[in-house]
Chain A
Amino acid sequence: MRQALWLLGSVVVLVGLHLALTGTLGPYFLQIVVLCGINVILAVSLNLVNGFTGQFSIGHAGFMALGAYASAMFSLHVGRGWVATLQGAGLPAALAAAPALLMALLLGGLLAALAGYLVGLPSLRLRGDYLAIVTLGFGEIIRVLILNIDAVGGPRGLPGIPAWANVFWVGLGVLAVILLSRHLADSTHGRALFAIRDDEVAAEALGVDTTRYKVLAFVIGAFFAGIAGGLFAHFLSYLNPNSFTFIRSIEVIAMVVLGGMGSISGSVLAAILLTLLPEVLRPVKEYRMVIYSLMLIVLMITRPQGLLGTREISLRWLRARFKPAGEAA
C-alpha cells in the first residue's frame, strides 16, 4: 500500500516536473536536463558492476549502443504501427506512445542484458585488468559491427527514430535505477556483491556463489545501460555509431570514480557534474576540453576516494548531520 502510494506520488511529481520543465526551458536546456538524466542512469548502473561488485568494466558504451539500436529498430518497424493504431482509437499522442516506448526500452534493455550475461561469463576466468580489457574489446566489437550492418544505417547513422522520450520517461528511468540500486544495497544479494568486492576469496569461503553474483551484476548493469541507450535514441531521434566509442565508456567510468566507488548518490552527483561541466565551459570555447581534463586530474589528485567516498547522501544522513545544529539553536 505504502509502496503503491510512493509510486503514484513519484509519477505525479515526474509528470509535474516534465510539464514545468518542458514549458519553461528552451530546447538547449531541456536537452542538457535529459542528457544529465541519461548519464545518471549510465553511471548508477555501472556503479553496480564497478562500485558494488568491484569488477572492472569499461564496455558500458557497448551495452548502451545495443539498447539504443535495438529499441530504435523496434520503434521504427513495429512501435510506430502501435502508436498509429492507438491514436486511431482516439488516445492522445503522449499516452499512445507509452506502450510502444516501454516495449522498445524493455527490448533494448533485455538485449543488452543478454550481452551482459555473455560478457559476464568470462569473468569466471579473468580477473582485474584482463576482464577490463575484454569488456573494452566487447564495446569496440559492437561498434564495428554496427558500422558494418547496413540495415541500421552503418556509418551514415540511423535517422528518423520517433522522439517519444522526454523528461518524464528519463526521470522514470533514473528513479528505477536508483531505487533498484538502493534496495539491492540493503538486500542479501547486495551484501554478497559487497563481499566479493572486499575480498573474493573470503566471500567464497563464506558460501557466496561468486560466479553467479558477478554475472548478475553485469546483467543488471547492462540492462540499465540498454535502457539509457533506448532513451538516448528516442530523445535525439538520430543514432550514430560514433556516439558509442570507448571514450563514452571512459566518461561513465570517470563519473563513477569521481562520485566515489559504490556510492549511489555520488554517482548521481558526479554524472550531473560531468555533464554540466563541458556545457558551463562553453563560453571559453577551444579551452573547454583542456580545462575539463585538467579539472579531472586535479579532482582525482585532491580527492582520490571520489567526491563522496562510499558515503551516501540521504534524508537520514542529512537529518543526522544537521540535527545537532538545530538543537543548539
Chain B
Amino acid sequence: MSEFLQQLVNGVTWGSVYALIALGYTMVYGILRLINFAHGDVYMLGAFFAYFTARAIGAQQNPGPLNALLVLAAAMVGCGAIGYIIERLAYRPVRKSSRLAALITAIGVSLLLENGGVLMFGGDPKFFPQVITARNLALGGGVTISNQQIIILVVSLALMLALRFIVLYTRVGKAMRAVSHSHTAAALMGISVDRIISFTFVLGSTLAAAAGVLVALQNPKIEPLMGVMPGLKAFVAAVLGGIGNIPGAVIGGLVMGVAEVMVVGYLSPTYRDAIAFVLLIVILLVRPAGILGKATVEKV
C-alpha cells in the first residue's frame, strides 16, 4: 500500500508537469485549431534559458528560493518572447491557408528549434545546476516526498490557478474565449484577433518554460531533444482531456502522469512510452471527444 501511495505521489508530480505543457497545446488548439508541434521544443528552451541564467547569476554556488525564482522568471520571459516570435514569423503567414499547411509549418518550426538547439548548445546533455538543495520529507506510512516535488506541485498549481484567473476573470481572457468561439464575430466586437492569438502563444510558452525548469530541477540532465517525447505525450494528454478544454488538459496530464509512473513501477519500464497511447486509444474509443470534451453534432 505504501508503495502504491509513493507511486501516486510521484505520478501526480510528473502529471502536473504534463498538465502544464498540455495547457499550452490546448489553448493554441482552442483558438487556432492548430496542433503546435513546436510546443515541446519551447519546453526544452525553457530548461536551457534557466540553465544559462543559473550559470550567469551563480545560482549553483548559493542555492536558495530567491535565485530559483529568478531562474524560473527568466526562463518564462525568454520563452514568452520565443513564443511570440514563432507565432509572428511562422504561423501568422499561414493562418489563412489550410490547416495542414499550418501543421507542416509547425513541424518545420519544431525541427528548427531542435536542430538549432543541437547547433547552439551541442547535442550532449548538460547538467542543470542544483538551484535548490534536495531534501526528502517523510509523509508517514513509508511515503516520502522531496522538496523538489513539493516545488513542482506548488508552482504548477499556482500557475494553473493564475491561468484560470486570467481566462475567466480578465478582459483579455474574455477576449480569448470569444476568439476561440469565432474569429469573425470576435473581430466584429472590436477584439484585435491578432493580438489575442499572440497573447495565447506567449501564455502557453511561459507555462511550457515553467514546466521545463521544474523538470530540470528533478532530472538535471537537459539536452536539445528532451522536448520531443514529453511534448508528444503532453499533447496526447490534452487530447485525452478533450482538446481545447482547459480543465481537460489538467485532468489529462494527471491521468497520463499517474498511468505512466504506475506502469514503470508495476509492469515494465520499457512499456512506458506505449502506455500513453494505449490509454489514449481506449479512452477515445469510449469517449471520442476526450474525457471532458463535448461531442459536437455536425450540422449540414
Contacts and interface: CB of A to CB of B under 8 A. Distances in A.
Interface of A: 56, 122, 125-127, 129-130, 132-134, 136-138, 140-141, 144-145, 147-148, 201, 246, 250, 253-254, 257-258, 261, 286-287, 289-290, 292-294, 296-297, 300-301, 304-305
B119 A250 contact: no
B97 A294 contact: no
A138 B280 CA distance: 10
Contacts of B155: none
Contacts of A201: 298, 300
A206 to B, nearest CB: 13
B224 to A, nearest CB: 11
A205 B137 CA distance: 64
B288 A125 contact: yes
A296 B111 contact: yes
B39 to A, nearest CB: 15
B287 to A, nearest CB: 10
B45 to A, nearest CB: 15
Interface stretch (B5-13, B49-57, B101-109, B171-179): B101-109
Nearest to B279: A137
A289 B239 CA distance: 30
Contact of B100 (A134, A250, A257, A294): A257
Contact of B97 (A136, A250, A253, A305): A305
B271 A148 contact: yes
B101 A297 contact: no
B111 to A, nearest CB: 4
B101 A300 contact: yes
A296 B284 contact: no
Given A254-B107, A304-B97, A133 B112 contact: no
Given A144-B271, A148-B270, A297-B90, A304 B101 contact: yes
Interface in B223-267: 232, 235-236, 239, 243
Contacts of B108: 254, 293-294, 296-297, 300
